[in-house]
């Protein structure tokens, strides 16, 4: 009986040693990737091509998705309208394509917050020829901060697809239209701004603009 008990104890000890030699598996929650975790060379798409998930509609103007594009149209009230990202982006590079139909008066706001349709922040202008597309405008504030040189207006392709790039890094803002640098400005107030990206539809009615390929890269 003692011999049998001794053998049993030795086998139990051997099994215990083998078990303890294996690394223990721990169940740890997976870390969520946040915008600040992204590398400088990692682009994120702000528009999924299917619906307006991740965006917030401000106002009564029309925002909808069709054929992989965001379309904004004047509504019956013909007022200002905005479609903003739910997330805030402060330092970034943004690429967006737009196609103006009808009047085409719009814009891309950055570091912006909204109360109804009253917006704080800065707009990279999108407008018909001769109306300073690529310039920076501060709504409910100082107005025009900088306009592009008039000879650069030729790069805007009314009624066709255009590519706008906006780089916001601290107080320094640069915009490009179809590969041409439109403006560069350093502004202390802009440098302190925080907020969302927002697409605008101007008031007055008769406006229709298409948007696609809205991609952003964080700058650290």
Q: By residue range, what is the domain housing residue 162? A: 38-218
Residue range 172-192: average pLDDT? 98
Cα–Cα distance for residue pair 105/127, rounded to 1 Å: 4
* Domain-embedded: residue 31: no
The first and second tokens of residue 21, run together, are 């030699």
Residue range 130-152: average pLDDT? 97
* Domain-embedded: residue 149: yes
Residue 213 sits in a domain whose CATH number is 2.60.120.560
Instruction: Tell me the pTM.
Output: 0.81
Question: pLDDT confidence of 103, banded at 50, 70, 90?
Answer: confident
Residue range 189-210: average pLDDT? 93
* Residue pLDDT, tens place only, 32-87: 333 434 445 699 999 999 999 999 999 999 999 999 999 999 988 888 999 999 99
* Domain-embedded: residue 32: no
For residue 182, pLDDT beyond 50: yes
The first and second tokens of residue 109, run together, are 């706001």
For residue 19, pLDDT beyond 50: no
Higher pLDDT, 220 or 198: 198
The first and second tokens of residue 124, run together, are 């990279």
Q: Are 54 and 188 in contact (CB under 8 A)?
A: no
Cα–Cα distance for residue pair 152/135, rounded to 1 Å: 11
The number of domains in the chain is: 1
Position 24 scores a pLDDT of: 34
Cα–Cα distance for residue pair 176/163, rounded to 1 Å: 8
Mean pLDDT of the chain: 85
Q: Are 106 and 90 in contact (CB under 8 A)?
A: no
Cα–Cα distance for residue pair 130/127, rounded to 1 Å: 8
Of residues 46, 198, 47, 191, the one with CA closest to residue 114: 198
* Domain-embedded: residue 18: no
Position 40 scores a pLDDT of: 55
Residue range 151-172: average pLDDT? 97
* Domain-embedded: residue 135: yes
The first and second tokens of residue 58, run together, are 């401000």
């Amino acid at each position: 009986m003692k011999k049998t008990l001794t053998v049993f104890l030795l086998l139990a000890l051997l099994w215990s040693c083998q078990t303890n030699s294996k690394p223990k598996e721990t169940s740890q929650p997976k870390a969520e990737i946040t915008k600040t975790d992204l590398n400088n060379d990692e682009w994120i798409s702000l528009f999924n091509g299917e619906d307006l998930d991740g965006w917030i509609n401000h106002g009564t103007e029309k925002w909808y998705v069709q054929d992989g594009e965001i379309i904004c149209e004047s509504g019956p009230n013909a007022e200002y309208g905005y479609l903003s990202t739910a997330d805030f982006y402060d330092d970034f590079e943004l690429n967006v394509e737009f196609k103006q139909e009808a009047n085409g008066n719009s814009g891309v706001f950055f570091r912006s917050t909204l109360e109804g349709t009253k917006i704080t922040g800065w707009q990279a202008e999108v407008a018909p020829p001769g109306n300073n597309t690529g310039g920076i405008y501060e709504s409910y504030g100082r107005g025009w901060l900088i306009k592009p040189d008039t000879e650069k207006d030729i790069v805007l392709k009314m009624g066709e697809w255009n590519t706008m790039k906006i780089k916001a890094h601290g107080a320094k803002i640069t915009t490009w239209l179809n590969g041409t640098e439109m403006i560069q400005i350093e502004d202390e107030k802009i440098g302190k701004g925080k907020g969302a990206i927002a697409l605008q539809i101007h008031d007055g009615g008769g406006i229709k603009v298409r948007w696609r390929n809205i991609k952003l890269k964080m700058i650290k």
